[in-house]
């Protein structure tokens, strides 16, 4: 045994308190290693003993990653560093993504007595959030609220956006935020030197770095994102006659309860743009009927939800609507912007279509279409003709004109099979709403909301429809109960949880269990 003659008299205080402990939590691929190297280089250049550790390996492939740095106080030559952070013992925590800040808090790395939390508020969604058929996005507000309590100082901004705007990556803006926070006793120039010495994309990194400093040293930390008005600025466009009719229709909206007017105006605009002013009048008719019977409970929620979901039901997703969306004038400008196309560059656009017989037959006149659809032989024949993936180049005239012509079928739409199916479905649904309304207005509201289940195209649409039907059937079995609305909500939420409808099956089984 090698005997080291070292003695230390117990004093009771944490002797490692003078070591600065810094944790970086990131998503694999965000450049946490680069940030770690920079911070280590800064400390070393300032003649501090420093140590960095990381866990490499497959965790780096898009998973949650963690880096840890310890910096000894001045004058300590041979400190004993820890290789991993400990709960309650972290001075600076840098979270390169909002939920990673949440994870840091969860693991106890952020404590009110000492931790400076520097977090990027942007989201990199986890697969579990994205794959839910409904809205599975985790609530960032809860993390922000917890951070306000857990951190001694909480510095937050969208560091990703800041970096991208400066042509760099998030490690640079985060380093800036760290330098600006004053959490490390090193001058800004020391950080800049570290970036310069790393030698790659130096100018862009420095720009993002300075933006990072600015955002945490500005008097107001993060301005809340302004709520955008719904495309109000653009002037109404179209033929004069239609515009006049439209104005008259909009005036009718003022006859609705105050609470529902905004939704009804948006709904009306959607339906009119989908078809025409006359169709918009039909829409308003439906909404007005319900409004007339709305007792005004819960802020006219029945009318508000009717205004919303009837609009969505009437502006269904058919081939004509998709073609119109793909050929509308604003689209190219938008894509040019998104792709960062410069004037001298050329943009090629490829669309991915895969029509099936159902979509084609949906365009047939209702009577003929219904007969064809009832004949498996004809359906197979049409399927053979049309059912295949089609890549359409909409930057070329041939592809564009093809879709342009389909979009022009708008005038024909009301005669199509698809329209008849949708109209029948709408009527049945609204009749059911009315049937429930008299007995249980809350249940009627929930039934309106079930329209959310129907979305997508082809198989996805069919699956949505079948879930809608199953939920409605389920609701019907409990409609007599006082808590029917509650069950309707639960069934709908279950249906939105997974693709196959396992959660919905479970909820339906529960209902059956207490009914029997």
Partner 1 sequence: MAERSFKREVEDLKLGQGEVFTGEGILAITKALLEAGVGYVGGYQGAPISHLMDVLADAEDLLGELGVRYEANASEAAAAAMLAASVHYPIRGAVTFKGPVGVNVASDALANLSSSGVTGGALIIVGEDYGEGSSIMQERSHGFAMKSQFWLLDPRPNLPSIVKSVKDGFALSEASNTPVMLMVRIRSCHVTGQFTCEDNRRPSLTVRDALSNPRSDWARVVLPPMSYRQEIDKIENRWPAAENFIRDNGLNEVFGPDKAPLGLIVQGGMYNGVIRALQRLGLADIEGRSAIPILCLNVTYPLVNSEMLDFARGKDALLVIEEGQPEFIEQNIATFLNRARSQTRLHGKDIFPMAGEYTGRVMMDAITAFLREAAPGLLPDQARAPNSPPPDIPDLSKVVPIRPPGFCTGCPERPIFAAMKLVEKELGKHQITGDIGCHLFAALPPFEIGGSTMGYGLGPASNAAFDGGGEKRAVSFLGDGGFWHNGLSSSIGNMVFNKSDSVAIIVDNYYSAATGGQDVMSSRAANPTKATNNPISKALKGVGVDWVRQIDRTYDVGKMRDTIREALTTDYDGPKVIVASSECMLNRQRREKPLRTQAIKEGRRVEAPRFGVDEDVCTGDHACIRLSGCPSLSLKKLDDPLRDDPVASIDQTCVGCGNCGEVADAAVLCPSFYRADVIHNPGRWEAWADRLRRRVIGWLQARRDARVLDATRGAA
Considering only residues 147-186, where is the footprint of partner 1 by CB under 8 A? 149-150, 164
Tell me which of 45, 46, 114, 124 binds partner 1, using CB under 8 A: 124
Which string of b and e fits 33-48 if b means at least 16 CB within 10 Å? bbbbbbbbbbbeeeeb
Q: What is the Cα–Cα distance from 493 to 71, expressed in whole angstroms?
A: 49
Q: Report in angstroms how near the CB of residue 90 gets to partner 1 at its nearest.
A: 10
Burial class (CB in 10 A: 0-12, 13-18, 19+), 448: buried
12: left (phi over 0), alpha (psi -120 to 50) or beta: left
CB 111, min distance to partner 1, A: 7
For partner 1, the closer of residues 378 and 404 by Cβ is 404
Please report how close the Cβ of residue 354 comes to partner 1 at its closest, in angstroms.
Answer: 5
Altogether, the residues listed in the chain come to a count of 516
Q: How far is the CB of 153 from partner 1 (least distance, A)?
A: 15
Q: Is the CB of residue 144 less than 8 Å from the CB of residue 120? A: no
Q: Which of 165, 218, 248, 347 binds partner 1 (CB under 8 A)?
A: 347
Candidate ranges 123-131, 214-222, 371-379, 471-479; the one touching partner 1 (CB under 8 A): 123-131
- Binders of partner 1 in range 378-407 (CB under 8 A): 389, 391, 394-397, 400-401, 404, 407
# residues contacting partner 1 (CB under 8 A): 165
6 binds partner 1 (CB under 8 A): yes
Nearest approach, Cβ of residue 357 and partner 1 (Å): 11
Q: Write out the binding residues for partner 1, residues 236-275 only, by CB under 8 A.
A: 236-239, 242-243, 246, 262-263, 265-270, 272-273
Q: Is residue 143 involved in binding partner 1 (CB under 8 A)?
A: yes
**In the window 24-43, what residues touch partner 1 (CB under 8 A)?**
27-29, 40
Helix (H, G, I), strand (E, B) or coil at 71: strand
Sequence-separated (6 or more) residues with CB below 8 Å from residue 470? 495, 501, 504, 508
Q: Give the span between the Cα atoms of 353 and 415, in whole angstroms.
A: 24
The smaller minimum CB distance to partner 1, of residues 243 and 512, is found at 243
Cα–Cα distance measured from residue 159 to residue 143, given in angstroms and rounded to the nearest whole number:
16
State which residue, 50 or 213, has the beta carbon closest to partner 1. 50
Q: Find all residues with CB under 8 Å of 94, minimum gap 6, and list them.
A: 22, 23, 24, 25, 35, 118, 119, 174, 177, 178
Instruction: Determine, following the binding rule CB under 8 A, whether residue 47 of this chain makes contact with partner 1.
Output: no
Determine the straight-line distance between the first and last CA of the chain, rounded to whole angstroms: 76
Binding mask 181-220 for partner 1 (x = CB under 8 A): ----------------------------------------
Pairing assessment for the beta strands 92-95 and 153-157 based on DSSP bridges: unpaired
CA separation for the pair 299, 329 (Å, rounded): 39
H or E stretch covering 405: helix 397-407
137 binds partner 1 (CB under 8 A): yes
428 binds partner 1 (CB under 8 A): no
Residue 504 beta carbon to partner 1: minimum distance, rounded to whole angstroms: 15
Q: Which 448-467 positions form the footprint of partner 1 (CB under 8 A)? A: 452, 455-460, 464
Judged by CB under 8 A, does residue 292 bind partner 1? no
Stretches 282-290, 341-349, 362-370, 440-448: which one binds partner 1 (CB under 8 A)? 341-349
Task: Name which position in 165, 230, 380, 473 contacts partner 1 (CB under 8 A).
Answer: 230
Q: Please report whether residue 356 would count as binding partner 1 according to CB under 8 A.
A: yes
Nearest in space to 75 (alpha carbons), one of 23, 5, 22, 19: 19
């Amino acid at each position: 045994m090698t005997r080291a003659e070292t003695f230390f008299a117990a004093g009771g205080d944490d002797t490692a308190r003078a070591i600065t402990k810094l944790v970086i939590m990131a998503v694999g691929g965000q450049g946490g290693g680069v940030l770690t190297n920079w911070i280590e280089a800064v400390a070393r250049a300032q003649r501090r003993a420093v140590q960095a550790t990381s866990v490499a390996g497959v965790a780096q492939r898009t998973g949650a990653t963690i880096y840890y740095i310890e910096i000894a106080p001045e004058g300590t030559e041979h400190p004993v560093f820890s290789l991993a952070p400990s709960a309650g013992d972290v001075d600076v925590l840098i979270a390169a993504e909002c939920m990673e800040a949440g994870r840091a808090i969860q693991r106890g790395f952020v404590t009110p007595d000492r931790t400076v939390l520097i977090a990027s508020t942007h989201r990199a969604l986890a697969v579990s959030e994205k794959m839910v058929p409904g809205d599975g996005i985790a609530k960032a507000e809860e993390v922000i609220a917890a951070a306000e309590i857990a951190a001694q100082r909480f510095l937050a901004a969208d560091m990703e956006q800041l970096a991208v705007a400066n042509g760099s990556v998030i490690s640079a803006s985060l380093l800036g935020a760290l330098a600006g926070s004053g959490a490390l006793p090193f001058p800004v120039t020391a950080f800049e030197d570290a970036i310069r010495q790393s030698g790659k994309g130096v100018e862009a990194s420095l720009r993002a770095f300075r933006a990072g400093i600015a955002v945490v040293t500005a008097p107001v930390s993060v301005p809340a994102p302004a709520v955008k008005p719904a495309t109000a600025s653009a002037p109404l466009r179209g033929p004069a006659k239609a515009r006049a009719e439209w104005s008259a229709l909009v005036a009718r909206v003022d006859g609705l309860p105050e609470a529902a007017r905004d939704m009804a105006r948006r709904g009306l605009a959607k339906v009119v743009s989908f078809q025409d002013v006359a169709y918009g009048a039909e829409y308003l008719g439906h909404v007005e009927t319900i409004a007339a019977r709305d007792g005004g409970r819960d802020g006219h929620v029945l009318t508000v939800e009717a205004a919303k979901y009837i609009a969505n039901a009437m502006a269904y997703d058919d081939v004509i609507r998709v073609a119109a969306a793909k050929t509308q004038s604003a689209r190219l400008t938008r894509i040019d912007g998104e792709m960062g196309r410069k004037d001298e560059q050329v943009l090629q656009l490829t669309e991915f279509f895969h029509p099936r017989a159902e979509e084609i037959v949906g365009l047939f006149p209702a009577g003929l279409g219904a007969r064809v659809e009832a004949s498996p032989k004809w359906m197979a024949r049409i399927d053979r003709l049309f059912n295949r993936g089609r890549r359409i180049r909409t930057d070329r005239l041939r592809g564009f004109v093809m879709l342009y012509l389909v979009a022009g079928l708008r005038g024909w739409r009301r005669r199509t099979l698809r329209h008849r199916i949708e109209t029948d479905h709408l009527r049945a649904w609204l009749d059911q709403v009315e049937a429930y309304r008299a007995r249980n207005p809350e249940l009627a509201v929930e039934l309106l909301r079930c329209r959310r289940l129907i979305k997508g195209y082809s198989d996805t649409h069919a699956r949505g429809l079948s879930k809608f039907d199953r939920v409605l059937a389920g609701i019907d079995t409990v409609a007599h109960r006082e808590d029917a609305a509650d069950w309707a909500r639960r069934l709908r939420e279950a249906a939105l949880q997974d693709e196959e409808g396992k959660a919905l099956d479970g909820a339906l089984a529960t209902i059956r269990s207490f009914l029997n």
